[in-house]
Amino acid sequence: MKTVLSILTLTVFLILLTALPNTALQSRRHGPAETLFTEQFFSQTVDHFNFNTMGNATFRQRYLITDKFWKAGHGPVFFYTGNEGDVWDFALNSGFILELAAQQQALVLFAEHRYYGKSLPFGNSSFNIPQVSLLTVEQALADYAVMITELKQQLAATHCPVIVFGGSYGGMLSAYMRLRYPNIVAGALAASAPVLSTAGLGDSRQFFQDVTADFEKIAPECRDAVRGAFSQLKKLAEHKDYSRIQSEFALCKPPSSERDIHQLNGLLRNAFTLMAMLDYPYSTHFMGNMPANPVKVGCGTMLRGPDLLANLRDTAGIVYNSTGVLTCFDLYSLYVECADPTGCGLGFNSQAWDYQACTEIELCYESNNVTDMFPPMAFTEQDREIYCSKRWAVLPRPGWLKTQFWGDALSAASNIIFSNGDLDPWANGGVRKSLSSSLIALNISGGAHHLDLRGSNEVDPESVISARQKEAEIIAQWVEMERSRLQKTL
């Protein structure tokens, strides 16, 4: 009796055990990187630039740390300057930094940007006015400078050179760290950092033109099919055939206004933006789930049959219905329109990014159906002013980022790698040509948005393999240079 019971118990136990890994696999965070990092909080100054208003008040800033590869007290510190999201998302999608840390015996830190993830200076009131006002690039950089300095003390790493890493806006922050705090940071890998376009330097048509070019490269017919589908949608909207639009696009509610149609166009355009940015040669779970080579998959779907509207719906489904469980598209919950026409994401993080796009970061990109395949959707500096004063009671300051972080006069800086993949619509908003022997532009042919920061994969193109090798060599040189400088000063 007893034995039978224990066998039964054992069987149930075994069934449970085999069931468990499935649940674990469905979780967003799995794999070696997750267990490598320890999550910690740093007591951070709320306002670095005003001694009166917030006094010595602090908030809990999250960071991730691993010393698994570190040659304690000697190896360099690799510091990821977190950008607009949960710090885990960057840590779990930047495997190259860990591979490099293993090679160069580095301590690895990933810091979360203030006002994102769990690093909310005023908790859930952080997005009230005026609490939101301490969300600036300058405050974020000062956070990282203070955090690096204090953690180096705590970890007995004062002699260790610091290299910063970042992708996209995080790459901008890495470059800015080197500009602003060369006393603390020996060099920066700024991957896919649109330092020029976000400072208002560039062509407002470039972004969606480059998204279009990615699809056109697969097949010109693909571009034509997208344009044709948007044109059919426009005709239906002109005839106010809202019930047909609802059924064609499987919308949860029928659209009922021009505003709804504008929102639908924005949601659809955003699907193409994401496929172009995340056009990696293997499936990923970063900013949503993407199949391998999503642009190719998208074009395949656009060209599947004669019904262009159905094709367009299903192409959007690649992005919004990756789980395959969506019963209908909800216009206002799947996509949030904001001061960034390339999308702000969802939730609290989208509010933070919207505020940044309303203040320092300029993202006045337009589509026009001439230089790109999308419906004409302008977002001028004037549109931005109207939106931002209504939403956040602020007026953007065009030109400030350019003044503050050197604009296109970066050649006086040093020790920055600007890497860009030629599939990435952000690439041409960044530095594409080397500016000096220590300001090096790397072109990753066939690479999407900061592919080089991702961990090695067997289907990686040769270009990214050699870019990572080059980056490793340059970074090793910076570390040695900084080591001898530190030794002289100590």
168 catalytic? Reply is yes
Annotated active-site residue in 210, 354, 372, 424: 424
CB atoms < 10 A from the CB of 310, how many?
16
| Sign of the dihedral defined by the CA atoms of residues 223, 229, 234, 235, in that order | positive
DSSP 60: E
Residue 329 binds to ligand NAG (criterion: CB under 6 A): yes
Residue 326 binds to ligand NAG (criterion: CB under 6 A): yes
Residue 369 binds to ligand NAG (criterion: CB under 6 A): yes
User: What minimum distance in Å lies between the beta carbon of 308 and ligand NAG?
Assistant: 12
Q: Segment near ligand NAG (CB under 6 A), from 178-186, 195-203, 227-235, 478-486?
A: 227-235
* Selection from 306, 121, 140 nearest residue 221 by Cα: 306
Q: Segment near ligand NAG (CB under 6 A), from 108-116, 194-202, 320-328, 404-412?
A: 320-328
Q: At what angle do helices 206-218 and 220-238 cross, to 10 degrees?
A: 120
Among 262, 432, 470, 483, binds ligand NAG (CB under 6 A): 432
Residue 58 binds to ligand NAG (criterion: CB under 6 A): yes
In the region spanning residues 115 to 154, those forming contacts with ligand NAG, defined by CB under 6 A, are 123-124
424 catalytic? Reply is yes
Q: Segment near ligand NAG (CB under 6 A), from 203-211, 298-306, 324-332, 472-480?
A: 324-332
Q: Is 3 helix (H, G, I), strand (E, B) or coil?
A: helix
Residue 60 binds to ligand NAG (criterion: CB under 6 A): no
DSSP-assigned letters across all residues of 82-150: --SS-HHHHHTT-HHHHHHHHHHT-EEEEEPPTTSTT--TTGGGTTSTTGGGG--HHHHHHHHHHHHHH
285 catalytic? Reply is no
Cβ proximity of 310 and 248 under 8 Å: yes
Q: Segment near ligand NAG (CB under 6 A), from 109-117, 318-326, 405-413, 467-475?
A: 318-326
If phi > 0 it is left, if psi is from -120 to 50 it is alpha, else beta; for residue 447 that is: beta
Cβ proximity of 308 and 236 under 8 Å: no
Distance CA 6, CA 327 (A): 45
User: What minimum distance in Å lies between the beta carbon of 334 and ligand NAG?
Assistant: 10
DSSP H helices in 393-461: 400-404
Cβ proximity of 295 and 215 under 8 Å: yes
| Sign of the dihedral defined by the CA atoms of residues 43, 47, 51, 55, in that order | negative
Beta-carbon contacts of residue 123 (< 8 Å; ≥ 6 apart) = none
Residue 202 binds to ligand NAG (criterion: CB under 6 A): no
Residue 456 binds to ligand NAG (criterion: CB under 6 A): no
Among 60, 217, 234, 262, binds ligand NAG (CB under 6 A): 234
Beta-carbon contacts of residue 26 (< 8 Å; ≥ 6 apart) = none
Residue 291 binds to ligand NAG (criterion: CB under 6 A): no
Annotated active-site residue in 168, 192, 367, 419: 168
Q: Which is nearer to ligand NAG, 133 or 443 (CB)?
A: 443
Residue 443 binds to ligand NAG (criterion: CB under 6 A): yes
Among 182, 317, 398, 461, binds ligand NAG (CB under 6 A): 317
Amino acid in the structure at residue 275: M
Q: Which is nearer to ligand NAG, 58 or 158 (CB)?
A: 58
Cβ proximity of 452 and 444 under 8 Å: yes
Token pair for residue 129? 């006015």
Annotated active-site residue in 367, 449, 450, 460: 449
Q: Which is nearer to ligand NAG, 160 or 423 (CB)?
A: 423
Query: Total residues contacting ligand NAG (rule CB under 6 A)?
Result: 22
Residue 375 binds to ligand NAG (criterion: CB under 6 A): yes
Among 210, 340, 422, 424, binds ligand NAG (CB under 6 A): 422
Distance CA 310, CA 247 (A): 10
Q: How far is CA 1 from CA 9, 13, 14, in A?
A: 12, 18, 20
| Sign of the dihedral defined by the CA atoms of residues 212, 215, 218, 224, in that order | negative
Pattern 236-265, binding to ligand NAG, x per CB under 6 A?
--------------x---------------
Residue 310 binds to ligand NAG (criterion: CB under 6 A): no
User: What minimum distance in Å lies between the beta carbon of 428 and ligand NAG?
Assistant: 8
Residue 169 binds to ligand NAG (criterion: CB under 6 A): no
Q: Segment near ligand NAG (CB under 6 A), from 74-82, 197-205, 228-236, 333-341?
A: 228-236
Active site residues: 168, 424, 449
Give contact residues for ligand NAG (rule: CB under 6 A): 56, 58, 123-124, 227, 230-231, 234, 250, 317, 321, 324, 326, 328-329, 369, 375-376, 422, 432, 443, 445
